[in-house]
Amino acid sequence: MRIKDRLTREIEARRDDLVALTQDLIRIPTRNPPGENYREICDYLDRRLLRAGFHTELIRATGAIGDSDRHPRWNIVARREGARPGACVHFNSHIDVVEVGHGWTTDPFGGEVRDGRIYGRGACDMKGGLAASIIAAEAFVASCPDFAGAIEISGTADEESGGFGGVAYLAEKGWFNPERVQHVIIPEPLNKDRICLGHRGVWWAEIETHGEIAHGSMPFLGDCAVRHMGAVIDAMEQNLFPALAQKRTDMPVVPEGARQSTLNINSIHGGEPEQAADYTGLPSPCVPDRCRMVIDRRFLIEEDIGAVESEIRDLLETLRKGRPGFDYEIRELHRVLPSMTEKDAPVVGAVARGVAQVFGREADYVVSPGTYDQKHIDRIGRLKNCIAYGPGILDLAHKPDEYVGIDDMVQSAQVMGLALHELLGG
Ligand SMILES: [Zn+2]
- Residue at a domain's end among 305, 336, 367: 336
C-alpha 295 – ligand 1 centre gap (Å) = 22
Give yes or no: residues 344 and 312 share one domain: no
394 alpha carbon – ligand 1 mean position (Å): 9
Q: What is the per-residue pLDDT for 4?
A: 87
CATH code assigned at 254: 3.30.70.360
Q: Are residues 280 and 309 in the same domain?
A: yes
Closest CA to 380 of 105, 136, 137, 177: 177
312-347 burial by CB neighbour count: b if 16+ within 10 A, else e? beebbeebeeeeeebebeeeeeeebbbbbbeeeeeb
Q: Quick one: 268 and 379 in the same domain?
A: no
Q: Kindly give the distance from the C-alpha atom of residue 205 to the centroid of ligand 1, in angstroms, as a whole number.
A: 23
Q: In whole angstroms, give the CA distance from residue 426 to residue 69.
A: 46
Specify whether 310 is located in the same domain as 252. yes
Count of domains forming the chain: 2
Say whether both 58 and 192 belong to one domain.
Answer: yes
Decide: 99 and 197 in contact? Cβ < 8 Å: no
281 with 346, same domain?
Answer: no
Point out the domain boundary residue: 284, 319, 336. Answer: 336
Q: How would you classify the pairing of strands 364-368 and 194-199?
A: parallel
Please tell me the predicted confidence (pLDDT) of residue 1: 65
Strands of the 201-210 sheet, one edge to the other: 262-270, 290-299, 201-210, 328-336
The rounded Å distance from CA 48 to ligand 1 centre is 22
Ligand 1 centroid–CA 122 distance in Å is 8
Are residue 319 and residue 370 in the same domain, yes or no?
Answer: no
How many angstroms is it from 376 CA to the middle of ligand 1? 14
What's this model's pTM, rounded to 2 decimal places? 0.90
Distance 340 CA to ligand 1 centre (A): 18
In the reported structure, the alpha carbon of residue 125 is separated from the centroid of ligand 1 by a whole-number distance in angstroms of: 5
Residue 383 has a pLDDT of 87
Same domain, residue pair 35 and 51: yes
Q: Is the peptide bond before 369 cis (omega within 30 degrees of 0)?
A: no
The pair phi, psi for residue 109, each rounded to 5°, is -120, 25
| Catalytic sites, residue numbers | 96, 159
If asked whether residues 366 and 387 sit together in one domain, one would say yes
The pLDDT value given to residue 77: 98
The answer on 82 and 129 residing in a single domain is: yes
Given this model, what pLDDT does residue 2 score? Answer: 85
- What pLDDT is recorded for position 218? 97
How many A from CA of 187 to the centre of ligand 1? 8
Whole-angstrom distance, CA of residue 367 vs CA of residue 197: 5
Domain boundaries, position 13: 3-199+339-424
**CATH code of the domain covering residue 190:** 3.40.630.10
User: How does pLDDT run along the chain (426 residues), one tens digit per residue?
Assistant: 688 899 999 999 999 999 999 999 999 999 999 999 999 999 999 999 999 999 999 999 999 999 999 999 999 999 999 999 999 999 999 999 999 999 999 999 999 999 999 999 999 999 999 999 999 999 999 999 999 999 999 999 999 999 999 999 999 999 999 999 999 999 999 999 999 999 999 999 999 999 999 999 999 999 999 999 999 999 999 999 999 999 999 999 999 999 999 999 999 999 999 889 999 999 999 999 999 999 999 999 999 999 999 999 999 999 999 999 999 999 999 999 999 999 999 999 999 999 999 999 999 999 999 999 999 999 888 888 999 999 999 889 899 999 999 999 999 999 999 999 999 996
